[in-house]
Every structure is written in C-alpha cells, then in structure tokens.
Amino acid sequence: MIQPPFTDEHEQLRESVRGFIDRELAPHAQAWEDEEWFPNEVFGKLAGQGLLGLKYPEEYGGQGGGYLHEAVLCEELARIGSGGTAAGIGAHVNIATPPVWRFGTEEQKQRYLAPAIAGEKIGALGITEPGAGSDVASISTRAERVDGGWVVNGEKTYITNGVRADFIVTAVVTGGDGRAGGHHGISFLIVDRGEGVESSALHKLGWQASDTASIAYQDVFVPEQNLLGEMNEGFKLIMANFQWERLAMSLGAVGAMRMAVQRTIEFARERTAFGRPLSGHQAIRHKLADLSARAYAAQCVTYDALRRFVAGEDPLREVTMAKLLTQRACYELMDECLQIHGGAGYMREYWTERAVRDARLGPIGGGSDEIMREILGRLI
Ligand SMILES: Cc1cc2nc3c(=O)[nH]c(=O)nc-3n(C[C@H](O)[C@H](O)[C@H](O)COP(=O)(O)OP(=O)(O)OC[C@H]3O[C@@H](n4cnc5c(N)ncnc54)[C@H](O)[C@@H]3O)c2cc1C
C-alpha cells in the first residue's frame, strides 16, 4: 500500500530498486562482508541504473528527481543485507556529494558531482578527527594559505569510503590563530587523493564491507579552486546537510526494521518447538506484535519528518526525534529478531547475526543519541 508522502511513481521506483538489489547486490553480501570490502564496480552498476543521482539535476547526469526518490533508495538499501555496502553507497550519495551540489561552483560540479553521479569518482566526507567527533567545532586539521591554494596537515578518522574515495570533502581550520576552528574558523576543501593523503583501514564490529579509514594529510597542496563554499563558513555547510543525513539514517532503519520483522514472522511460522510453530506460542506472538508496532512507529515519525522536510519546512525537531527514535529501536529490534531465531540467529549463515552488529552504529554515527537529546533539550 502506498504511504504518503510516496506516490505511484515512487512505488514504481521502489520495485525497480528492489529488483536490482536482489539481483545484483544481495547475492554477494556475505562474500563482501567476509572480504571487508565491496568492489568499486558497485558504484558503476548503481550509476547505470541512475541510482547515484536520483535527486540531482539532469545537467550533471542526475535523474532530476527529488529527496523522495532518494528516500526510496535509502529504505531499500537494507535489502542488500550488508550494512557496510549500504553505508558506502549512502556516504557517497547522502553526505559526500550533497555539499558539492549545494555549495559547489559550476566548475566543481562538473569536476566532482558529474563523475560521482556517473560512478566514475567515489566521494567521502571527512569531518571527524581523533580529537573531535561530536564536538565538530574542535577540529584541528589545518589549512595554511600559500600561493595558489592551501597546504593541509592533520588527521581524520572513521571516514566511510576513506580508503577508496577519489575525493574527500574535508573540514579544515582556516580561521583564527591556529587553534581549533570554532564555529567561524572552519572551511571545506575538496581534497583529491594523491601525494600526502594516506589512508589506513579500520576494523570494526559491523558495517564490515565498508572501508572505514583514518586519513592522514601531510603537507597536501590543495588548489584554491577546491575551496567549497565560503571561507570560514564551513559550519553552515555542515549544518545544511545534517537534516538530510539524519533522515537518510532514519529511513535506512525503517527499511531494515520492516524487512527484519517480515522475515522473523516467516521464520516463526516455519520453525516448530513443543509440537507447534513458534508463532503458535503466545509469548512469541506477543513479541512479533511488539516488533511490528515498533517498526510501524519508527516509520510514522520518520515519514512525518520526511513530509515536513520535502514541504520545505525546517523540521529540526522532527528530524532529530526521528533519528533518536529509530536508531536504538532498530538495534533492539534486530536483537529481538535474533532471539526469536534461537541458536541459528547467532550463526553467520543467518542474516540476524549481521543485522544486530550493523544496527549498533546507528545510535553513534551522524550525531549520537546523546547529541540528539542535547539538540531536543535546547529546542524544548
Ligand atoms: C563506522 C563509522 C563510520 C563513520 N563515518 C563517518 C564519515 O564518513 N565521516 C565523518 O566525518 N565521520 C564519520 N564517523 C564519525 C561519527 O560521526 C562519530 O563517531 C560520531 O559523531 C561520534 O563522535 P566520537 O566517535 O568522536 O565520539 P565522542 O564525541 O568522543 O563521544 C563519545 C561519547 O560521549 C557522548 N557525548 C559527546 N558529547 C556529549 C555531550 N555534550 N553530552 C552527553 N554526551 C556526549 C557521545 O554521544 C558518545 O556516546 C563514523 C563513525 C563510525 C563509527
């Protein structure tokens, strides 16, 4: 059934995205997780389907759609069954390329956005540092002004696509006296992979197919035409995309929860214990009832925030609530699904084992639950 704000057109897109993912990506999920890497060609395949540019204008090779088309993709990426692959794709379309689209010069859009939509260049967003995560204003990667550009020194960490990215949209300190940037001393530079840019892969609990990396910048020359947005106004750029990033994460959780509940119901119908299907036991039936109610509640808050967002409101409160209410809920729901699968649920062969690990990042990434509460606390 079509749920507003989606229309027939979005549902058709959903069907085609599902077919593509089921055919081309999902069958490889386990192998990619085991290898801790999904192939770069995935970006080319997605581009071939127009899925890297759903919300971007046709003049850059995009589909000329909007955030609702992108929302469909965010939900359906869960079908890959590999949080890491979904994260790598999500980082490219939801956090690395949007600042180039919104703040880039025409020349930057031709040089980075168009090839990113075509799957020819892979992007990453580099904000977090070893000494500054939630407290973004404390970053210390510094860009010194030199003839024709900047020289960048510093370190970023936990960067999704950090090993494979061809360009890293990087937050740097440009203002002040060399200390941390503060709200008015941060700028963004688009840094090409090249001399002085050194990535080291990090190993993690979940999202294993994605290449999360620390990136060291040592005397990296960045030409002045790679300044993204206004000098010392980088905080605006960070704020501008936070709402979409958080909505995208909420939508990802909604898609994952919906699928998990459906699969768990099917499992509970098939598996028998004490002479009847698991779903024949009231305790399990009640759990399934709770799980569907929780998934539906997550969908309702997320769709409400999404509706407001696409209507042009500034739904900071609703988006923050959606992020807060969906991420831990998703993790807890996956854990309950695993429980219903019993010992099988703990095994590699079952999707539940990976789903629990993958869902654990949600309450940390893209603004942690504590930071969401801080924002809400101030708003109320
Ligand atoms: C797998 C993965 C992928 C990531 N991808 C990217 C990426 O592509 N690009 C990027 O820039 N970053 C990325 N990140 C970084 C992510 O956004 C940060 O990890 C997150 O913002 C939290 O920052 P931190 O890890 O430094 O924790 P900290 O900020 O040090 O926080 C530690 C703990 O303290 C809590 N805390 C912090 N401040 C407060 C406060 N004021 N009140 C109460 N509690 C507080 C936090 O909620 C957290 O629980 C990624 C992280 C991971 C794990």
CA of 162, closest atom in ligand 1: 8
CA distance 328 to 272: 30
pLDDT digits (tens, 9 = 90+) for 270-326: 999 999 999 999 999 999 999 999 999 999 999 999 999 999 999 999 999 999 999
Cβ contact 303:4 at 8 Å: yes
pLDDT digits (tens, 9 = 90+) for 230-241: 999 999 999 889
Dihedral sign for Cα atoms in the order 220, 226, 230, 234: negative
pTM of the model: 0.97
Instruction: Report the chain (380 residues): mean pLDDT per 10 consecutive residues.
Output: 91 98 98 97 98 98 98 98 98 98 98 98 98 95 97 98 98 75 86 98 98 98 98 92 96 98 98 98 98 98 98 97 98 98 96 98 98 97
b/e burial code for range 91-108 (CB count within 10 A of at least 16 → b): bbbbbbbbbbbebbeeeb
pLDDT digits (tens, 9 = 90+) for 112-156: 999 999 999 999 999 999 999 999 999 999 999 999 999 999 999
CA distance 231 to 343: 55
CA of 128, closest atom in ligand 1: 11
Among 70, 76, 245, 318, the one annotated catalytic: 245
Cβ contact 74:86 at 8 Å: no
Q: Ligand 1 center to residue 182 CA distance, Å? A: 17
Instruction: Name every protein residue with a CB atom under 6 angstroms from any ligand 1 atom.
Output: 91, 124-128, 133-134, 158-160, 204, 207, 212, 361, 364-366, 368, 370-371, 374
Q: Ligand 1 center to residue 133 CA distance, Å? A: 5
Q: Ligand 1 center to residue 131 CA distance, Å? A: 10
